[in-house]
Amino acid sequence: MKKFFNVNLVRIIISIAFFISALFFKNNPFQLVLLIISYVVISYPIYLEALDNIKEKNFFDENLLMIIATIGAFIIKNYEEAVMVMLLFEIGEYLSDLAVYKSKKSITELLNLRVDSVTLQDGNATKIIPVDDAQIDDIFIVKPGERVPLDGIVLEGTTFLDTYPLTGEAIPKKVTINDQILCGCINRDSLIKVKSTSTATSTTAARIMKLLSETEEGKSKTETFFSRFAKIYTPVIVFCALIIALIPTLITKDYHTWIYRALVFLVTSCPCALVISIPLGYFCGIGAASKKGILIKSSKELDDLNNIDYLLLDKTGTLTKGIFTVSKIETFNISKHKFLQLVASAEENSLHPIATAIKDYNHEKLLKVTSYHELAGLGISCTVDNKKLLIGNKKLMDKHNIPVIEPSDLTTVYVSIDNTYAGYIIISDELKTSSKDIPKLKKYFSDIVILSGDHEEAVKSIAKELKITTYHGDLLPEDKLKYVKDYQKKGRVIFIGDGINDALVLKQADIGISMGQLGSDAAIETSDIVLMQDNLAALKEAFKIAKYTKRKITQSIIFALSVKIIVLLLALFGISTIWMAVFADVGVTFLAILNVLLIMLRK
């Protein structure tokens, strides 16, 4: 990019020098030579690009319009205007490219998360190796001021991490032993020793940067429309220009006047303002969102945020913190210590937050587990210490015809031993602070709905606290999927889930948003938007950015079309000049670009 930038700047300067020199040779044949040199220097890349497009059977674009217009100007001996049109066109393109480059550079710098090397520790010795050579389970150290090179778990030390590049959160995060940390964060305080859980290519940072590089693949309806429009628009403009040049000339015999008007028409009609500013506007919107810790996969999703009817939410990890604690254990015909030992042993291999809470609560030695099976949406079955255990929700007990004593509310884990009901564990989960802002989002939707696999009464309790009137509990993943499809029959749907258990639902929804599983593969790959701060308050910010982006792009479209239409109408009556046409093309393009760049600057 830097080389491209320098070459074009030098080319513009040389062309301007020859053009200015030509002005000193009025009524001298040498003037035409200088103007031709100036024209060739500034225009040859446009000719090359037009030829490449023709080879790819893309015959009509803005390059061809400028070539026809300037050749026409030479034919009617408007040499200076021909050179100036091409020169101003290239200056406008250069300034536009510079603006685009700077906007992309600001986003790239924001997400400049990669580290080239990692300091491994082997006993008392350390060695620095390329980060690409590091492996999972390597032990490495991160000194104060260094960027974390790999995802990992802290083994030794306590420090504060600057997570802003990943989450947009300005307040440093305290981490200590057993805490997970992510590549790209900056160590602000003390040395820590970390065990890697990723390689260089599988870090959260690597996946985010890959995602950012693909943001232009999914085009919004506005972009798609104007891409198709430009393919039809350009040949129509060329045809209209030919009619303006030929028919009146045949009637009046005044070819100079009508070719000049046709050239004004061609230059004015160039669609650069729309072709450049629309995708740049969406890119700026995505960049502005990334600064707030909102990762949007493409302009399509950013655009779709303006047209959503229903918000459907998972409960655990979305509305609640997903940090569970055991609040009560009730057993029948077995001691609580033995009961907890069996259940904790069975949950040893599970990463589910509820399983983690049970394991943390247990202080007994774990027993050997065999015949372990996970039952989607129900729980697990396994054999522990020669006892057959079923651990899960009430549906699991009902499926095996095991009658239970059912608590009135909260999240309950039921346990049967050898097909006999042995007791239950009640799990508590705390509501997120950001969830209390949910009532403020009601103005954006026809309805807000909670869909959860938790006990109906537990869901009811959360819904009542958040003033949400529509909720459904005791749902399997396929039940959630059905509800999403039902709501899609009435309008467009956002579903927010944890990105793992709700993968199918996230994919089915018009917009799937993940939160509560920062950096997980499922969150990044199955959803359209990732709230990196694990904070529902960011959803309101996402809507604001989407609406502001749409407004600025609409302004640019209306402004560009209005100026072009006015200049085109004036051109038909011979009022517009080639200089007005240049403003309607280059000037409008640059102003439209500046307008959408405000998206990145908006506070």
Q: Which secondary structure element, helix H or strand E, spans residue 174, and what is its range?
A: strand 173-175
Does 481 or 173 have the greater pLDDT score?
481
**pLDDT grade for 1, boundaries at 50, 70 and 90:** very low
Yes or no: say if 530 and 523 are a contact pair by the CB < 8 Å rule: yes
pLDDT higher than threshold 60 for residue 562: yes
Q: What is the pLDDT of residue 4?
A: 46
CA dist., res. 237 & res. 244, Å (int) = 10
pLDDT higher than threshold 90 for residue 417: yes
Q: What is the pLDDT of residue 555?
A: 93
Q: Which residues are catalytic?
A: 314
Mean pLDDT score, 520-539: 72
CA dist., res. 494 & res. 528, Å (int) = 10
Does 47 or 376 have the greater pLDDT score?
47
Percent of the chain whose predicted confidence (pLDDT) is above 90: 22
Q: Is 412 exposed, middle or buried (0-12, 13-18, 19+ CB in 10 A)?
A: buried
**pLDDT grade for 547, boundaries at 50, 70 and 90:** very high
pLDDT higher than threshold 50 for residue 519: no
Q: What is the pLDDT of residue 400?
A: 93
Q: What is the pLDDT of residue 213?
A: 55
Yes or no: say if 103 and 59 are a contact pair by the CB < 8 Å rule: no
Does 62 or 168 have the greater pLDDT score?
62
Lowest mean pLDDT among 88-97, 141-150, 322-331, 464-473: 88-97
Please provide the average confidence, as pLDDT, over all residues in the chain. 81
From 182, 192, 174, select the one nearest 121 (Cα to Cα).
192
pLDDT higher than threshold 90 for residue 345: yes
**CATH dotted code for 309-320+431-509:** 3.40.50.1000
Where exactly are the structural domains of the chain?
2-108+215-282+547-601, 117-199, 309-320+431-509, 325-428
Q: What is the pLDDT of residue 208?
A: 62
What letters, b where the CB count within 10 A reaches 16 and e where it falls short, cover 335-350? eeebbbbbbbbbbbeb
pLDDT tens track for 426-438: 887 778 888 888 8
CA dist., res. 219 & res. 55, Å (int) = 25
The yes/no answer on whether domain 117-199 falls in CATH 2.70.150.10 is: yes
**pLDDT grade for 2, boundaries at 50, 70 and 90:** very low
pLDDT tens track for 147-157: 888 888 999 99
Lowest mean pLDDT among 73-82, 388-397, 476-485: 73-82
Q: Which secondary structure element, helix H or strand E, spans residue 310, and what is its range?
A: strand 310-313
**pLDDT grade for 249, boundaries at 50, 70 and 90:** confident
pLDDT higher than threshold 90 for residue 490: yes
**pLDDT grade for 524, boundaries at 50, 70 and 90:** low
Spell out the CATH class of 325-428. alpha beta
pLDDT higher than threshold 50 for residue 3: no
pLDDT tens track for 270-298: 777 777 778 778 888 888 887 787 888 77
Q: Are strands 152-156 and 192-196 parallel, antiparallel or unpaired?
A: antiparallel
Lowest mean pLDDT among 52-61, 173-182, 296-305: 52-61
Lowest mean pLDDT among 143-152, 328-337, 405-414: 405-414
